[in-house]
């Protein structure tokens, strides 16, 4: 059995480029982001990967990335399930603000705590802990059973929603997960054991 799970953060978005807090806002991909998504698909194709189902979020940058990856591997019509459970972390009142402007308003230390702590949310938003609490039940209920049946699953989502999954897969803790960064458009290829633990992991960098 393959028990293949591939995680891919969306390509660069227009707001990534502008250094804005994005969260549940819905900017599109930049030209670079489109190419990052296509390159991710090409690297998966080189590995001979084919999928049985894909999952993505309710946000267009992840959906577009998913579509571009599937086009590159020759599966443009693959069943794709979108759910807001896989959305990016909600940055609340920070959404749409330039990160430098936020530091000027609230101070470097406070913004750092909001961005990098595990359990301190920004005003009106979610902490990483809150994001884990949203993403993980969906993974356990919807995604993991398919992988354990031997289906090959693609998840195209966001930096923080995927960090929630990597935290579980890689056995990271609330102390170590804040330091993890996921690059845009770089697939993480996991094979799972029959007890749901990780048999192998490969980072498909360019």
Q: Would you name the residues annotated as active-site residues?
A: 10, 88
Q: Are 22 and 15 in contact (CB under 8 A)?
A: yes
Q: Which residues contact 168 (CB under 8 A, 6 or more apart)?
A: 136, 139
Cα atoms in the 13 Å half-sphere on the side-chain side of 63: 14
User: If DSSP codes are grouped into helix, strand and coil, which group holds residue 195?
Assistant: coil
Alpha helices in the chain (DSSP H): 14-17, 31-46, 60-72, 99-106, 108-116, 128-138, 144-148, 159-169
Q: Are 9 and 185 in contact (CB under 8 A)?
A: yes
Within 10 angstroms of residue 82's Cβ, the number of other Cβ atoms is 18
Q: Which two tokens stand for residue 130?
A: 């809150």
Q: Are 56 and 81 in contact (CB under 8 A)?
A: yes
User: If DSSP codes are grouped into helix, strand and coil, which group holds residue 67?
Assistant: helix
Q: Are 37 and 185 in contact (CB under 8 A)?
A: yes
């Amino acid at each position: 059995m393959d028990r293949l799970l591939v995680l891919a953060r969306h390509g660069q978005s227009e707001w990534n480029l502008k250094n804005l807090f994005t969260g549940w806002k819905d900017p599109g991909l930049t030209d670079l982001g489109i190419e990052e998504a296509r390159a991710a698909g090409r690297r998966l194709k080189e590995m001979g990967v084919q999928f049985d189902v894909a999952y993505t979020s309710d946000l267009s940058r992840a959906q577009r990335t998913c579509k571009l990856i599937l086009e590159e591997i020759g599966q443009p019509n693959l069943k794709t399930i979108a759910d807001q459970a896989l959305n990016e972390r909600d940055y609340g009142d920070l959404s749409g603000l330039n990160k430098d402007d936020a530091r000027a308003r609230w101070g470097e230390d406070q913004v750092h705590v909001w961005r990098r702590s595990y359990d301190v949310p920004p005003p009106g938003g979610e902490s990483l802990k809150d994001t884990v609490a949203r993403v993980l039940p969906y993974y356990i209920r919807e995604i993991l059973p398919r992988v354990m049946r031997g289906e090959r699953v693609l998840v195209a989502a966001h930096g923080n929603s995927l960090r929630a999954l990597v935290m579980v897969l890689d056995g990271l803790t609330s102390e170590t997960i804040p330091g993890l960064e996921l690059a845009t458009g770089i697939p993480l290829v996991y094979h799972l054991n029959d007890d749901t633990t990780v048999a192998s992991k490969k980072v498909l960098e360019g």
